[in-house]
Structure 1
């Protein structure tokens, strides 16, 4: 990251995740004041304890508008907001539970909409909101119907918000297959899976959380980018 975040206030929702922590580290090292939000205060405190600069922990539940409104009140004025939040509801269509589907939409679509509702008025005129979509919207697969739908809905949401909230900018980062820890559940099959993805990706590799941090920083830094989805998938959506 560059020094352009010196003295800026950055709210990271999902700061307890690996990508969220890396983003918070990079921004803090560049002089930003961090507000760390998410559902698990213990993870947020862990992230806060690692940062070189000032930070504040602000728990939030994206399934609860009252919690989002309280977050806005406590956050105060901001320069940028980034949300990496996701609550996937994967599985065959016949096995999906309505409660899980609703939570997935809360995290990826309704939550970002409510974050914009309650926080956009607190964002500096040259500031931004950045959300996380995902390659499943462009490459749907069996048992990933809800993931594809929520990610696709978010891509359209950022376009609408970019128009309504202008001049505040709104963008999305769309990761492909990233070795962020989410695939660790595959156990000994993980490496073979990642190698197979890398072999067919045009970039001939899988992603890293650092790749995502660079994309977020581009979305934050470039004043002529809004209503845009930044695909960080090694070309995976094309093959």
Structure 2
């Protein structure tokens, strides 16, 4: 394994590799020379991602809501250098309509799952390795109907600080996206373009994010050996306005 801070000849785990962001991260890691371990609940999507990679990869099913699944994944995964989890299961809507099961699934993906990943996998990470999780701007800009999203993202931001201390010298960080055009806004249909244009007009960066912006932030968190317990805000300054 490389000791020069690059991903060449390193082993990178991407949890949520079937999503658009996870797929982009996996492709970037593979292009940089890493061996990929692709994890997530849907093996078909993982195989699709694997088929787009330029280097070696392995697919393993993983359910972050099930500790037995996480423990089994740890047994099969072996040693690795870096783990990135893009997992999210939103539970949005008015407070009066929230179902406990939906709230629990949201916490499993964003908080409990990452905690259990660290529990079961921290002993398998190289000493120069890292965990990187995904938080989100809602923690800093809560809004009606986004209470669970704000709370899970905020809890994850504090979790990475605690884990960075507990499992040191393994580093633990989070990336916090703002409004990023990853496909998650496609459900707005004809209103999507106007929505994104409005976001760009308000943001200090005067643009919305792209998947590539998130990939760059993750690669920075992986590469910099002096960054741990940190949330990297990739939101164009959206949390400030």
The TM tier, using the shorter chain, reads over 0.9
Match of 1:127 in 2: 129
Match of residue 86 from structure 2: 84
Give the aligned partner of residue 208 of structure 2. 206
| Displacement after TM superposition at 1:4 (Å) | 1.3
Q: TM-score, normalised by structure 2?
A: 0.98
- Kept after mapping to 2: 8 A contact 1:10/1:33: yes
For residue 220 of structure 2, give the secondary structure of its aligned residue in structure 1. Answer: helix
5+ residue gaps in structure 1?
Answer: none
In 2, are the aligned partners of 1:3 and 1:30 still within 8 Å (CA)?
no
- What is the DSSP-based 3-state SS (H/G/I as helix, E as strand, rest coil) of the residue aligned with 1:81? strand
Which residue of structure 1 aligns with residue 218 of structure 2?
216
Shift of 1:3: 8.4
Q: Which position in structure 1 is the counterpart of 2:14?
A: 12
How far residue 203 of structure 1 moved from its aligned partner, in angstroms, is 0.1
Q: Which residue in 2 is equivalent to 1:166?
A: 168
What SS does the aligned partner of 1:127 have? Answer: strand
Q: Does the aligned pair in 1 maintain the 2:5–2:224 contact within 8 Å? A: no
Q: TM-score scaled by structure 1?
A: 0.99
Render the CA deviation track for 1:147-188: whole Å, top value 9, x for unaligned: 000000000000000000100000000000000000000000
| 2:62 alignment partner in structure 1 | 60
Distance in 2 separating the partners of 1:4 and 1:222: 10
The secondary structure found in structure 2 opposite 1:112 is: helix
CA deviations over 1:56-112 (Å, ceiling 9, x no partner): 001100000000001111110010000000000000000000000000000000000
Match of 1:110 among 86, 109, 112: 112
User: Which stretch of structure 1 is more off in the superposition, 2-11 or 15-24?
Assistant: 2-11
What RMSD in Å do the two structures reach over aligned CA positions? 0.9
Q: Is the 8 A contact 2:5 2:223 kept in 1?
A: no
Residue 136 of structure 1: aligned partner: 138
Aligned residues, how many? Answer: 238
